[in-house]
Amino acid sequence: MTAQDQSDRNGFLNRLRGSPMGWRLRLAVFLLLLVTVATVWITNSLLTSRFTESTRNRAELRLALYSGNLLSELRRNSIVPQLLSRDPTLISALQSSDYTLSTQRLISFVEEIGAASLVLLDGDGLTVAATDRNRLGEGHRSSPYFIDAMRSNATIFSVIPREAGGYSFVYSRRIEANAEILGVIVVEVDLQKFERAWAGISDAVMVTDSTGAIILSTEPQWRGLEEGSAILRQPPQSAIQRAIRATADWNALPPDAYLQGEAVMRMETRIPFRGWQMTSFTTYSSIRERVNSVLALEIMAFAILLALTFYALSRRATSRMTLFQRESAELRALNARLQREIAERERVEKTLEVAEQTLAQSSKLAALGEMSAAVSHELNQPLAAMKTYLAGARLLLRRNRPEEALASFGRIDGLIERMGAITRQLKSYARKGADAFSPVNLGEALASSLSMMEPQLRQRHVKITQILPEVPVIVMGDRMRIEQVMVNLLRNALDATKSVAEPDVEIILAAGDTAVLTVRDNGHGIEDIENLFEPFYTTKRPGDGVGLGLAISSGIVNDHGGRLTARNGQQGGAVFEMQLPILGSDGLEAAE
């Protein structure tokens, strides 16, 4: 640049600074920067509060799921000692002191029951049979679970500290025959599997007993301590340490607690079992990442606006350059500045790509939370039925009607198989495969679903009307998943008629071009049909459902090439229709 060009450039800039247009330009740039800072600050505050609340809700849902699973495991194993104490083979072995087959029999039980171990003690507290053969011959005469079981005619639950650390959770019950106490059956519950499952998440989880002592925890160093002492410890490379990331100043919502110097959310829930409580600590790292991704978008938008502003200035300078040829140097300077702005924009775009990847990972985590809620929803019905059958079997055994009690146990076994099938279905839910499809008789599937709903039907006086064709209606599909849809539709119909004086449910199965199953009730109808099949949409009270039944059912029907619809009846109530492609005689012969 020559001395003349430099002089012309300085003169042009001086005229620009001294003109009213120059002051207005400075004011516009200053206001734009001020708006940018204010917008980023307000967005950070609002999104921090919103995402923190969203993370808290997910953590509460996860805590409810964990506590429910733990309580289910405890209740499931509590009935085992009572059943084994009546086993005639074990009673005969204790009476005859012949234990050659006792250990093998306990081993055959433990895999089906899912307990950690089974131990049979004689009247002197000596181990005469055990699933772990290394424990044969051990003495337990002074153990609390042996002493309490010998003194009581009920099932005893004990929490026993281990020498190697941690606790053992034991159910025990005495075995007697002809008013003679023969020994004690001991069932050890495997609760450590929950610790292993919890360790795979970013939360720190612990369970305390009625005295406040930690008996289960993702942090091994916490076991045996109280919460106040536990959170002050600094364990090396713990799960919570790996999850904590650098966070900003959280002014929107104050932290619930500080763990290892970092702010965390603390949530607790009561487990209805001997005064136990479950507590979780959740970090804020994911919240900061989500907020930063949105802030990056805003900053990029303001950067583009600022670039456009400078582009407008360059256009104005270009128009003036046609009149003032001497200001060409200023135009080159403005062009160079635009190049720097473009380079800055490219850098912001790269930052945006990283933010989009972070959002994708967050979506995956949300999908895992939804799938966990789906598992809890679908297992609720079999668990409720098992509880009813167990209560009935216990009453039948007290009335000395063992054959009818065995029938109830058979139904419970069927329900366990159904629960296993449901978990396998949920594992393959995202694959939408049809490898296990086979011919299904919808009439038989409907009868099986009504049998599944038998405990609820007994409790309610509901008029069930069935209209079935004389010829079997056959479709190609997965019978277990089709029955799952039928149970959800029947359960929704029963729930819809709770407040009706004379509840009536009508079931119609018809066959034409397609197989159609219609479930009609005389409830109050559907208020919001558009959102009916959306996940987590429910009109039930909190605790009665999570709003996943119809969403899962719609997905199952779609996988079978059918359609699930809902509408309000002309005379009131709701009408659900499941349409599936019917299987003709040619297709049936080919399937066979």
- pLDDT tens for each residue of 365-392: 544 454 555 556 566 767 777 778 788 8
Beta bridge partners of 325: none
Per-residue pLDDT, averaged over 554-579, amounts to 89
149 occurs within a structural domain: no
403 occurs within a structural domain: no
Q: Would you say residue 252 has pLDDT above 50?
A: no
Among the ranges given (348-362, 363-377, 438-452), the one the predictor scored with the smallest mean pLDDT:
363-377
Strand ranges inside 218-315, DSSP E: 257-259, 262-271, 276-283
Task: List CB contacts of 492: < 8 A, sequence separation 6 or more.
Answer: 549, 550, 574, 576
In angstroms, the CA 79 to CA 84 distance is 9
531 occurs within a structural domain: yes
In this structure, how many other beta carbons lie within 10 angstroms of the beta carbon of residue 68? 16
Q: Would you say residue 514 has pLDDT above 70?
A: yes
Better-predicted residue by pLDDT, 243 or 184: 184
519 occurs within a structural domain: yes
73 occurs within a structural domain: no
Report residue 347 as tokens: 């850098």
With cut-offs at 50, 70 and 90, classify the pLDDT of residue 517: very high
Task: Answer yes or no: are the C-beta atoms of 330 and 9 closer than 8 Å.
Answer: yes
SS3 call for 95: helix
Task: Answer yes or no: are the C-beta atoms of 128 and 140 closer than 8 Å.
Answer: no
The confidence score (pLDDT) of residue 249 equals: 41
DSSP type of residue 233: -
The confidence score (pLDDT) of residue 348 equals: 86
Residue 564, domain extent: 436-581
Of 61-70, 278-287, 419-428, which one has max mean pLDDT?
A: 61-70
- What CATH number is associated with residue 521? 3.30.565.10
262 occurs within a structural domain: no
Measure Cα distances from 396 to 145, 242, 355, 385, 401 in Å.
28, 53, 62, 16, 5
Domains of the chain: total? 1
Place of tokens 């403005």: 334
The confidence score (pLDDT) of residue 229 equals: 82
pLDDT in tens, 37-58: 888 888 877 877 787 777 788 8
The confidence score (pLDDT) of residue 3 equals: 54
Alpha helices in 169-284 (DSSP H): 192-198, 227-230, 239-243
505 occurs within a structural domain: yes
Place of tokens 């970013």: 202
299 occurs within a structural domain: no
Task: Answer yes or no: are the C-beta atoms of 554 and 578 closer than 8 Å.
Answer: no
